[in-house]
Copies of this chain bind each other. A is one copy, B any other.
């Protein structure tokens, strides 16, 4: 079938262990033998059987992720592509591969994870999000399996995680609107059970409170990370007796829905209502009008999480448990009243 270490050994006239040593660049192997073996290897097109290597070395050079089940949550908003790109670019550089799987239900997800972890199929896990009381985290902790969370866990402040300072990010966004002179500022949020939603809401509230501005519950709406959510939110919010004059919106894609909703209702952005959003996807800049957005460095989030996981797999201890990727508010037209200028 496939060419094995034995074939190479036989043809090179050495023992299999010598070939193995050549593969792993063992120090005390004669230059001559090494060269000869290497030549035979390329002649034969030999490549080590990775499964056999894994079996004996008890490592797989693979990290795993479970695809988020409610695909909409992460997929449509471009978060997924970008974070994967960050992850893979780091893992590949380090000689690791990324294994993805999924489950149709939460039970299946946990089952899949168990299979990978206990079956020693992977060396570590990246968690793309966490719910409160997350069974994945429970499992991984029980198994003492290396993992890194992208985001924040409510229950376990001591697990290794890479996150945005969402409280501060939302604070910055709201603060920017306040500086523009707005006094009635609303908030279009994502799913309330996610930490990211809770943190951003907290930051928004903090900014308003600090500025002595009113916070009304009716100015805060929850939804999904979908355009429809933003769209629908507008028919509610703009029909209030006293609608806000500015909105902090939790995601660019949701903001597109918001803009569309406002346009249909006859409002103009930013003249009638100002917007600040999150994630700063490429489309935010190209939108009409261009959307002010907090860039949270999604690629960097993936890259850093990946890096940290590999460190912990390789037994390096004592990194920080909570790493924060810096964010940056990119101001564009959507939050600049035409007669004013941001400075």
A88→B257 CA distance, assembly (Å): 28
With both chains docked as a complex, state the minimum distance between the C-beta of A50 and any C-beta of chain B, in angstroms: 4
With both chains docked as a complex, state the minimum distance between the C-beta of A95 and any C-beta of chain B, in angstroms: 10
Q: What is the 8 Å Cβ interface bit string for chain A, positions 230-255, against chain B (1 contact, 0 not)?
A: 01000000000000000000000100
- A231 B286 Cβ-Cβ under 8 A: yes
Q: Which of the candidate stretches A13-21, A116-124, A148-156 sits at the interface with the other chain?
A: A116-124
Nearest B residue (CB) for A89:
B102
- Determine if A76 is an interface residue (Cβ-Cβ < 8 Å): yes
With both chains docked as a complex, state the minimum distance between the C-beta of A6 and any C-beta of chain B, in angstroms: 15
With both chains docked as a complex, state the minimum distance between the C-beta of A43 and any C-beta of chain B, in angstroms: 14
Q: Which of the candidate stretches A26-34, A78-86, A169-177, A186-194 sits at the interface with the other chain?
A: A78-86
* List of B residues within 8 angstroms of A49 by Cβ: 55, 119-120
- Listed in ascending order, the chain A residues whose CB lies under 8 Å from chain B are 1-2, 45-52, 54-55, 58, 60, 62, 67, 71, 75-76, 78, 80-82, 84-85, 88-89, 91-93, 97-104, 112, 114-116, 118-121, 226-227, 231, 253, 256-257, 259-260, 263, 282-283, 285-288
19 other A-B residue contacts (CB within 8 Å) besides A49-B55, A98-B101: A2-B118, A47-B118, A49-B120, A50-B116, A50-B119, A52-B55, A55-B55, A67-B84, A75-B85, A81-B81, A88-B102, A92-B104, A93-B104, A100-B100, A226-B282, A231-B286, A256-B283, A256-B287, A259-B288
